[in-house]
Structure 1
Amino acid sequence: MIHIAPTRDIATCRQLRRTVFIEEQGVSEADEVDDKDDEAIHLLAMVDGIPMGSARLLLSGDTGKIGRVCVLPAARGTGLGAALVRGAVEELRRWPGISRAKLGAQTHALGFYERLGFTAEGPVYDDAGIPHRDMVLAL
């Protein structure tokens, strides 16, 4: 059973991010860890009570930025990532004045986000040594 909800368990979210971004993808700790966790809304994705993914939401003006989306390898291909992004979008819709969602997608994941309704905009750019492109969704 999948359960996705806001959490205050930032340590678990950081451990999931460490596993995916630092250990698996080779992102430096300096690039992954920043000072924005304290101001963010964190979502934790649980499968049968086990933490398997997370995402971080930052609010700025009329935009909710979805970031640090990660799913452990064992849960990939199960629909958990899509459920996590849908959960992030639903959480953003609860915030007054937030009219769009934005994220920086790794280019290999553009199709994944397009299937969830996001549209790519702007050029490809480098983030932590990985090509990304911004994507937006009107709420």
Structure 2
Amino acid sequence: MTIHIAPTRDITTCRHLRRVVFIEEQGVPEEDEIDDKDDTALHLLATENDTPVGSARLLLQGKTGKIGRVCVLKSHRGTGLGAALIRAALTELRAQGMTTAKLGSQTHAIGFYERLGFTATGPEYMDAGIPHRDMVLTL
């Protein structure tokens, strides 16, 4: 598998991937998934042989970069693509001068993010009907 991860302005493709993963698979309401932050965010797109297979969205808030909307198509889960997307996001946040990365992890994925260096903080909360916890990493 040869995967390429790069910044993109192709928000339509990123939204399509998110629709498949979040809206269709996980049942997240469309009004919770689609917001007005896409136009100002940085987006990463993962492709295999020019076929989109994953994406992530980065929001810059002061010196903190928020990683969100991380999705990988079911066909590519368990391949290391999710970790590669997070590493690419951290590289991009460092390049943008961020000193902290944060994200809201679905509780079942906390161990995944901990293996990448994140630490869970604060209480569990519901986001789009799914239990989450905030996680942080000093860059």
TM-score, with length taken from structure 1: 0.98
Give 1:50 shift: 1.2
Partner of 1:82 in structure 2? 83
The alpha-carbon deviation at position 47 of structure 1 amounts to 1.7
| Structure 1 counterpart of 2:113 | 113
CA deviation after TM superposition for structure 1 residue 125, in Å: 0.4
Paired residues in the alignment total: 138
> Whole-Å Cα distance in 2 between the matches of residues 31 and 60 of structure 1?
20
Q: How do residues 1-139 of structure 1 correspond to structure 2 at under 5 angstroms?
A: 1-96=2-97, 98-139=98-139
Aligned residue identity for 2:75: A
> What is the distance in 1 between the residues matched to 2:131 and 2:25?
16
Unmatched tracts of structure 1, length 5 or more: none
Equivalent position SS for 2:28: coil
Deviation, structure 1 residue 48: 2.4
1:61 positional shift: 1.0
CA distance in 2, matches of 1:101, 1:72: 24
Per the TM alignment, residue 129 of structure 1 is displaced from its structure 2 partner at its CA by 0.1
Runs of at least 4 residues off by over 2 Å: none
Same amino acid, percent of matched pairs = 74
Superimposed CA distance per residue, residues 66-116 of structure 1 (whole angstroms, 9 cap, x where no aligned partner): 0000000000000000000000000000012x1000000000000000000
TM-score between the two structures when normalised by the length of structure 2: 0.98
Distance in 2 (CA, whole Å) between partners of 1:114 and 1:46 is 25
Cα distance in structure 1, aligned partners of 2:51 and 2:82: 15
Rounded to whole Å, the distance in 1 between the matches of 2:49 and 2:13 is 16
Aligned-residue RMSD, C-alpha: 0.5
| Secondary structure at 1:37 match in 2 | coil
In 1, distance between residues paired with 2:48 and 2:104?
Answer: 25
The DSSP-based 3-state class of the residue aligned with 1:69 is strand
Report the 3-state secondary structure (helix = DSSP H, G, I; strand = E; otherwise coil) of the residue aligned with 1:132. Answer: strand
